[in-house]
Amino acid sequence: MKTIVVIGAGNVASHLAPAIDATGAGRVTQVYSRTYESAEALARKLPGAVAICNIDEIQEDADVYLISLSDDAIVPFLNKLPLGIGRNALWLHTSGSVGMEVLSQVTDRYGVFYPLQTFSKNVELDINAVPLFIEGNTEEVEREIREFGEKVFKGIYYADSELRRKMHIAAVFACNFTNYLWIQASELLEKEGLPFDVLKPLLEETLRKSFDIGPLNAQTGPARRGDRKVTEIHKSMLEGEKSYLYGILSDSIINRYHPGEVS
């Protein structure tokens, strides 16, 4: 079985390392972190792993080195790494926005192992359902990465830097911008003394339906119906940013579903 050194003990590593161990994709032998406490907290969950916080203690002969550090910490870590460690091994990082080439200074076999999910240390989730995006510096390396990932993930996709960037943009629309609209909704409710939670069942069902029949078919609401009477009343009841965003988004929806009707 492959031996794995995990570099980092943050949110991603905390979900990934136990899944690698549990599925038999590999055996994690070391967890490195800058502080012993965090390395130890993760190593405790891995029967065959020891915690280390000294970069010189990283073993030289593991099969895979999996770097799961924050984007800005990857290159500084590599620059401090003693020469020769894992020279013939497969090196991977889990970042969606750092190119794989940064790893070329330590090995000839490297790639990206990027699970598209937001991880929180204390929130359990079904990692198998998370899509994994991979890239390898050669076809052979990519095949190796895919085989390694298949034990843990159900859906594995190829994505180079360009495609990862486009996925990031899609995720900004799907998650960041929508969360911002939830802020608007929660503030409108709060003003009326209602908790944001009153929207929870509706939102969960909206999300379910959107994935079930596709968002284009799932669109509802006054703008979707082209009901300008209602959208104008709504807009007039709002102020500032909320009124502005309501108008922009309603016009956008009307324009798509009722082209030529936007005044």
CA distance 158 to 203: 31
Least gap, CB of 116 to a second copy (angstroms): 6
Instruction: Compare residues 59 and 184 and give the one whose CB is closer to a second copy.
Output: 184
Among 47, 52, 48, CA closest to 37: 52
Strands (E), 145-203: 156-158
Is beta strand 27-32 parallel, antiparallel or unpaired with respect to 50-52? parallel
- Kindly identify the residues of this chain, within the stretch 38-77, that bind a second copy according to CB under 8 A: none
Tell me which of 27, 151, 209, 258 binds a second copy, using CB under 8 A: 209
- Kindly identify the residues of this chain, within the stretch 144-163, that bind a second copy according to CB under 8 A: 155, 157, 163
Residue 226 binds a second copy (CB under 8 A) = no
R_g over Cα of the chain: 23
Query: How long, in residues, is the chain?
Result: 263
Q: How many residues bind a second copy (CB under 8 A)?
A: 80
Residue 234 binds a second copy (CB under 8 A) = yes
- Kindly identify the residues of this chain, within the stretch 80-139, that bind a second copy according to CB under 8 A: 116-118, 120, 123, 125-126, 129-131
DSSP for 110-159 reads EEEEEE-S---TT----GGGS-EEEEESSHHHHHHHHHHHHTT-S-EEE-
Residue 19 binds a second copy (CB under 8 A) = no
- Kindly identify the residues of this chain, within the stretch 165-204, that bind a second copy according to CB under 8 A: 165-186, 188-189, 191-192, 194, 196-204
Instruction: Compare residues 105 and 252 and give the one whose CB is closer to a second copy.
Output: 252
Residue 224 binds a second copy (CB under 8 A) = yes
Helix (H) or strand (E) holding 31: strand 27-32
Instruction: Compare residues 61 and 174 and give the one whose CB is closer to a second copy.
Output: 174
CA distance 115 to 46: 20
Residue 24 binds a second copy (CB under 8 A) = no
